[in-house]
Amino acid sequence: MKIPLSYSFRNLWTRRLTTSLTIVGLALVVFVFAAILMLANGLERTMVATGSDENAIVLRKSAESEALSSVGLDESDILATQPEVALGADGKPFVTKEIVTMINLSKRGADASDLSNVIVRGVSPAGLALRPQVAIVEGRMFNFGSSEIIVSKGIQKQYDGVELGGSIKFGGRSWKIVGLFDAGKTAFASELWTDNDQIRQAFNRQGFSVMIFRLKDKEAFNTIKSKIEADPRLNDLKVLREKDFYAAESELLATFIRILGLMVTIIFSFGAMIGAMITMYAAVANRTVEIGTLRALGFKRRSVLAAFLFESLFLALIGGVAGLLIASLMQFISVSTTNFTTFSEIAFSFSLSPSIIITTLIFAAVMGFVGGFLPSFRAARLNIISALRSS
C-alpha cells in the first residue's frame, strides 16, 4: 500500500518555515551553479557567433591567437588567387588581410593607471562585408589610407577617451574616431577597427597577422586545406574554419570558469545538503508517532521511505526552479574579462540554454536525494512499537 502524495504535501505545508528556509538555501546554491554554467556558455556563444561557416582563416601554424600569428605579403597574395576563394561583387577575391594588435585603454571610473588590453584590428576594404554581424550605427566608416578609426559601442561605453569625434593615440600617431559600430554578441564588440595598411606602417609590420576569405562553397574548405599543406611556399601556415577557430579560442577560459565555479558550487552544495538533511531529520523526529501509526495501518517500510524521499526531492526541485528563475535574470547583465588566449578584454553576457536547465534541475534533484536519503531511511527503519510508545 502506497502513501498518497497529498500526505507529503500536507506535511511540507505544516512546516512552512523550515520548508521555506530549506528551499531558499537550495535555491542559492542552484543559482550559483546555473550562473557559472551560463557564464561559460555565454563566452562560448559569443566566440562562436564571431565566426562564420562560410569563412576560412589562415594563420601561422604555431600561433594560437591572431595577435601571435603572421602571414607574409607573398603568402597572402598566393592565397588570394586560389580558385576556392570566392569573388566579391567587384570581381576581386573576397578576402581581408588583417593585422591584430593591442593597445591600452583606461576603463570608465577606474584609476588612470589601471589599464586594460584592447584589440585594434586593421582590415582590408572587404573586412566589413565579410562580417555581416558588424554594422556602423553612428558616424561613418573610416577612409582607407587615413588615420581614422571606428570603435565598437561596447568599447565606447566601457572606456574613457573613445568618444565619436575624438581621437586616441597609439603607434606613434593620433587616430580620429569617425564611427561607432555594433557587433552584436560577438568578440568584435570588444574591438577597434582601422585600415590594415595604416596599422602596418604605424607598427612597422612586414606582413599581416591573419587572412580571412569567403569560400566559394563550404565543401571547398577541404580542398584548399590540402593545397596549403602540400604547397612548400605555404607550409608554415594553417587554415581553419572561422567559426572553429573562435570556438577554440574560448575553450581555455570557459573551462577555467567551469572548474572554478564547480569547486565553489560543490562547497556550497554540501551546506545545502546538510540543511536539507537537518530539515528531514527534524521532520522524522517530530513525526515519530505518525510514522508508527502508518506502519501499524499496514504501510510498508519502502512506502515510508518513498514518502519522505519525495518530500526531500520536491523541496530540492522547488529550490532548483527558484534558483533557475533568479539566474535567468542574469541574461540582462554583460561582463568583461581577460581572454587567456589573447590576453585582451572581451565582453559577453550570461546565456541560458535548455541543456543548462536540464543539468541544473538534475543537480538540484541529486542534492535533494543525497540530503534526504538518510533521514528517509531512518524513518523507514523505525520500530512500530517504539515509535508508538514515543508519545
pLDDT score at 388: 54
Task: Give the H or E element holding residue 156.
Answer: helix 153-158
CA 378 vs CA 13, 72, 75, 292, 369: distances in Å: 22, 73, 74, 12, 14
Cβ–Cβ < 8 Å for 330, 40? no
Q: What is the dihedral of CA 143, 146, 148, 150, to 10 degrees?
A: 40
pLDDT score at 254: 80
pLDDT score at 42: 87
pLDDT score at 361: 92
Per-domain boundaries in the chain: 5-48+249-389, 62-235
Cβ–Cβ < 8 Å for 323, 27? yes
pLDDT score at 164: 92
pLDDT score at 5: 57
pTM given for the model: 0.77
pLDDT score at 166: 92
Query: What is the CB neighbour count within 10 angstroms for residue 161?
Result: 12
Q: Which three cell numbers stand for residue 118?
A: 584592447
User: How far is it, in rounded angstroms, from Cα 245 to Cα 52?
Assistant: 10
pLDDT score at 22: 79
pLDDT score at 109: 72
Percentages of the chain per state (helix, strand, coil), in multiples of 5: 55, 20, 25
Write out the chain's pLDDT in tens, 391 residues: 566 556 555 666 667 677 777 788 888 888 988 988 898 888 888 887 788 889 999 999 988 888 889 999 999 999 999 999 999 888 889 999 999 999 888 887 767 667 788 899 999 999 989 998 999 999 999 999 999 999 999 888 888 888 999 999 998 899 999 999 999 888 888 899 999 999 999 998 888 999 999 999 888 899 999 998 898 999 899 999 998 888 888 777 788 788 878 788 888 787 777 777 777 666 666 666 666 665 565 667 777 677 777 777 888 888 899 999 999 999 888 877 767 666 667 778 889 999 999 999 998 888 888 877 777 777 666 666 655 555 5
